[in-house]
């Protein structure tokens, strides 16, 4: 599949923004889902962003600008909410080809830059033959391209714009998935089959012949409104080599989450998680990557303050002539060691006066990062590579949103606690 022209992709985003407010009005009117009618919503977002990383490479600072996280989101429900269709079009392949400065992050051939996601970020259809979202118990079947039931929500719907470094440790996304989920009272259980291979480019489609070579399970307990505890496991076959034959991964995640809000714009949010990924060859662990993360946000009178602390171990791979890229696929032989990153990030945002149908939230985020070698014999020295083992990152921009966006990403059917949030 060829990369679509950038004007076409940006045009799709503008059309989504332009039609989102009207679509939101249509979604809230018409036949409510509970009456057996059809309810639908659509929304769009984009974040113009400037980031300065100091140092970024060999003691030199870099300042770059992007249009990050441009996306169009849609949701459709019918049959009293028992049938659903959810989709996300992600346009980062057109606006973020070089990657976004994000020291410490890695994955899919990008290092210290967040990679662009695939254009078809998710498209999943679900049916609940027993129960519904409004009932105390529900059984659902979901299939399509999307998130495996593992770990925590996509960082796109979390308070801070910059992604955490454990993105590839705490989410398994953009796979062909078949998920069965059952909810009874406060307990939800999910199980899924999916293909193990990670995308190789924004236009990449999953290898259908590999569907079912990987699986995941997640259990979630929600004893109080807004509070939940989850534990999940995923066995992923050869994610780094699309044709198979590479190292497998065993992944674990445990998380506590709290979120409460009201119509007056007040919101309280907190997340604490532990994650670990083991690279495995012939049943033996070759490398281990643990992560601890805690983040929180408080919104009052339109102003939101957010804070995140993270400690994540990542692999250090051989670099290409471009120091922010690594060869794909990589092998165990290309891993030069592991680096432990400790990052403290603080952010502040405020609701600006709406412009036409758009909601705008200017923000600023600052992060202090520290990189340390895990193995003493490692061939990679972070202080020599970056020019220092301690770095700063400063980002400023604005969340521009319209219509109805996904409130959470990565939970479907009986596991979804509510699909939408209004942009403003």
- Say yes or no to pLDDT of 80 above 50: yes
- Say yes or no to pLDDT of 179 above 70: yes
Domain count, the chain: 1
Q: Following DSSP, what letter does each residue of 246-309 receive, concatenated?
A: S-EEEEEEEEEEEEEE-TTS-EEEEEEEEEEEEEEETTEEEEEEEEEEEEEEEEETTEEEEEEE
Average predicted confidence (pLDDT) for the chain: 89
Looking at residue 332, its pLDDT comes to: 60
For residue 239, which of 54, 87, 108, 79 has the smallest C-alpha distance?
108
**At 240, phi and psi to the nearest 5?**
-85, -15
Looking at residue 124, its pLDDT comes to: 98
Q: Is residue 24 part of a domain?
A: yes
CA distance 417 to 407: 9
Note whether 422 and 402 are within 8 A (CB): no
Q: Is residue 401 part of a domain?
A: yes
- Say yes or no to pLDDT of 78 above 50: yes
Q: What is the dihedral of CA 371, 375, 376, 378, to 10 degrees?
A: -90
Higher confidence at residue 67 or residue 11? 67
- CB atoms inside a 10 Å sphere around CB 275: 25
CA distance 25 to 43: 11
Nearby residues of 259 by Cβ (< 8 Å), 6 or more positions away: 226, 267, 268, 269, 270
Looking at residue 423, its pLDDT comes to: 55
Q: Show the tokens assigned to 325.
A: 């890229």
- Say yes or no to pLDDT of 27 above 60: no
Q: Is residue 122 part of a domain?
A: yes
Name the one residue in this structure whose structure tokens are 């057996």. 36
258 pairs with which residues across the strands?
Answer: 227, 270
**At 366, phi and psi to the nearest 5?**
-130, 140
Q: Is residue 315 part of a domain?
A: yes
**Tens digits of per-residue pLDDT, 101-137?**
999 999 999 999 999 999 999 999 999 999 877 788 9
Residue 356's pLDDT band (cuts 50, 70, 90): confident
Note whether 235 and 242 are within 8 A (CB): no
CA distance 146 to 419: 14
CATH for 367: 2.40.160.10
**Tens digits of per-residue pLDDT, 247-293?**
999 999 999 999 998 877 799 999 999 999 999 999 899 999 999 99
Looking at residue 221, its pLDDT comes to: 98
Helix (H) or strand (E) holding 110: strand 110-114
- CB atoms inside a 10 Å sphere around CB 380: 19
Looking at residue 293, its pLDDT comes to: 98
317 pairs with which residues across the strands?
Answer: 335
Higher confidence at residue 393 or residue 16? 393
Q: Is residue 127 part of a domain?
A: yes
CA distance 183 to 186: 7
DSSP helix, strand, coil percent of the chain (3-state; round to 5): 10, 55, 35
Looking at residue 15, its pLDDT comes to: 40
Q: How many CA atoms lie within 13 A of 9 on its CB side?
A: 24
Q: Show the tokens assigned to 224.
A: 């109080």
Residue 349's pLDDT band (cuts 50, 70, 90): very high
**Tens digits of per-residue pLDDT, 295-340?**
999 999 899 999 999 999 999 988 999 999 998 876 666 788 899 9
For residue 186, which of 234, 232, 219, 143 has the smallest C-alpha distance?
219
**Tens digits of per-residue pLDDT, 367-422?**
999 999 998 777 889 999 999 999 999 999 999 999 999 999 999 999 996 545 55
- Say yes or no to pLDDT of 4 above 70: no
Note whether 329 and 299 are within 8 A (CB): no
Name the one residue in this structure whose structure tokens are 């400690």. 311
Give me the sign of the Cα torsion angle 241, 326, 169, 70: negative
- Could you tell me the residue range of the domain that residue 162 belongs to? 6-422
Q: Following DSSP, what letter does each residue of 57-93 receive, concatenated?
A: ETTEEEEEEEEEEEEEEEEEEETTTTEEEEEEEE-HH
CA distance 160 to 163: 7
Looking at residue 380, its pLDDT comes to: 86
Note whether 170 and 272 are within 8 A (CB): no
Note whether 272 and 259 are within 8 A (CB): no
Looking at residue 297, its pLDDT comes to: 98
For residue 122, which of 97, 157, 96 has the smallest C-alpha distance?
157
Angle, alpha carbons 75-78-79 (nearest 5°): 155
DSSP 322: S
Summarize the confidence of residues 335-356 as an average pLDDT: 91
CA distance 31 to 39: 7
Enter the pTM of the model.
Answer: 0.89
Looking at residue 193, its pLDDT comes to: 98
Q: Is residue 1 part of a domain?
A: no
- Say yes or no to pLDDT of 63 above 90: yes
Note whether 38 and 26 are within 8 A (CB): no
């Amino acid at each position: 599949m060829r990369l679509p022209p950038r004007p076409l992709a940006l045009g799709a985003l503008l059309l989504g923004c332009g039609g989102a407010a009207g679509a939101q009005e249509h979604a809230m009117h018409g036949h409510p889902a509970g009456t057996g009618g059809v309810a639908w919503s659509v929304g769009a977002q984009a974040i113009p962003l400037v980031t300065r990383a100091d140092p970024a490479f060999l003691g030199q600072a870099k300042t770059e600008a992007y249009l990050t996280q441009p996306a169009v989101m849609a949701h459709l429900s019918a049959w009293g909410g028992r049938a659903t269709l959810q989709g996300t079009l992600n346009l980062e392949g057109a606006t973020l080809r070089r990657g976004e400065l994000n020291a410490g992050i890695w994955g899919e051939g990008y290092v210290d830059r967040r990679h662009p996601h695939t254009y078809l970020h998710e498209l999943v259809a679900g049916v609940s033959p027993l129960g519904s979202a409004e009932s105390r118990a529900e059984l659902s079947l979901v299939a399509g391209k999307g998130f495996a039931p593992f770990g925590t929500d996509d960082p796109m719907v979390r308070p801070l714009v910059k992604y955490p470094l454990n993105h590839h440790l705490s989410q398994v996304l953009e796979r062909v998935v078949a998920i069965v989920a059952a909810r009874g009272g406060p307990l939800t259980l999910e199980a899924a089959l999916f293909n193990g291979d990670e995308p190789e480019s924004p236009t990449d489609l999953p290898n259908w012949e590999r569907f079912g070579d990987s699986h995941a399970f997640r259990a979630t307990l929600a004893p109080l409104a807004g509070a939940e505890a989850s534990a999940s496991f995923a066995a992923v076959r050869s994610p780094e080599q699309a044709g198979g034959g590479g190292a497998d991964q065993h992944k674990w995640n445990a998380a506590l989450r709290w979120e409460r809000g009201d119509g007056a714009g007040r919101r309280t949010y907190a997340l604490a998680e532990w994650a670990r990924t083991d690279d495995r060859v012939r049943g033996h662990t070759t490398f281990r990557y643990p992560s601890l993360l805690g983040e929180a946000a408080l919104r009052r009178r339109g102003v939101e303050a957010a804070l995140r602390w993270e400690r994540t171990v990542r692999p250090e791979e051989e670099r290409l002539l471009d120091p922010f890229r690594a060869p794909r696929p990589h092998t165990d032989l290309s891993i030069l060691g592991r680096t432990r990153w400790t990052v403290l990030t603080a952010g502040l945002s405020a609701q600006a006066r709406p412009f036409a149908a758009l909601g705008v939230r200017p923000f600023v985020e600052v992060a202090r990062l520290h990189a340390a070698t895990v193995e003493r014999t490692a061939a990679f020295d972070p202080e020599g590579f970056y020019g220092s083992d301690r770095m700063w990152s400063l980002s400023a921009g604005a969340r521009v949103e319209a219509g109805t966006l996904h409130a959470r990403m990565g939970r479907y059917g009986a596991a979804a606690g509510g699909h939408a949030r209004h942009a403003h």
